[in-house]
């Protein structure tokens, strides 16, 4: 390891500086481009949400997009992970999901490939989030808030709307911490 540090100090420093909750690669919706969360979002406040197109909470897409537009200049990024884990409420293809999100809610925040978010088959990112929070999503539109330092700030149940006072206070506090 010390030899690698001498030969490639920038690479080693970058790997060591990546917070564990961001040390994952995910794939974008539709085109499946790999995105290393650490490289793309380090230093940002992240709201990670498992989404579905045919759920009573689906209208939260509109508020999530508004939240993203409102707080993006300060460093917030909403990350959407469509999931069919709950009631088969995301049955469509990734192209269907993409079209639905764009046409119905004009979603501009980053959306990723269909993801398993609970159980033994859960995506490694969601396993890490569940371990950090002490809870897995119980339904669609569960929210995990990650601070600029890459540490979990909180976990918010599906019924907690994007503009719920508790979530907004947590987002604003996280944005103020370490603001550039």
Sign of CA dihedral 155, 158, 159, 161: positive
Residue 76's alpha-carbon distances to 8, 9, 20, 48, 169, in angstroms, are: 31, 30, 19, 11, 13
Helices (H) and strands (E) in the chain, counts: 7, 6
Residue 59 contacts residue 164 (beta carbons within 8 Å): no
Task: Indicate the DSSP class of residue 180.
Answer: -
* Residue 54, C-beta contacts closer than 8 angstroms, at least 6 positions apart: 89, 90, 91
Specify whether 55 is catalytic.
yes
Among the options 18, 38, 55, 101, which is catalytic?
55
- Residues marked active site are found at 55
């Amino acid at each position: 390891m010390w030899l690698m540090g001498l030969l490639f100090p920038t690479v080693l420093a970058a790997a060591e500086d990546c917070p564990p909750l961001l040390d994952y690669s995910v794939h974008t919706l539709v085109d499946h481009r790999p995105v290393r969360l650490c490289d793309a979002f380090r230093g940002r406040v992240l709201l990670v949400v498992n989404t579905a197109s045919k759920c009573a909470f689906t209208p939260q897409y509109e508020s999530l997009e508004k939240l993203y537009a409102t707080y993006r200049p300060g460093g917030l990024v909403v990350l959407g992970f469509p999931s069919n884990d709950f009631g088969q409420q995301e049955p469509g293809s990734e192209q269907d999901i993409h079209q639905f999100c764009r046409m119905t809610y004009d979603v501009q925040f980053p959306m990723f490939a269909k993801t398993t978010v609970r159980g033994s088959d859960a995506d490694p990112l969601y396993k890490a989030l569940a371990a950090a929070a002490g809870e897995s999503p119980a339904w669609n539109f569960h929210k995990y808030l990650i601070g600029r330092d890459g540490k979990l700030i909180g976990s918010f149940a599906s019924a907690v709307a994007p503009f719920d006072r508790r979530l907004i206070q947590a987002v604003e506090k996280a944005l103020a911490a370490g603001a550039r």
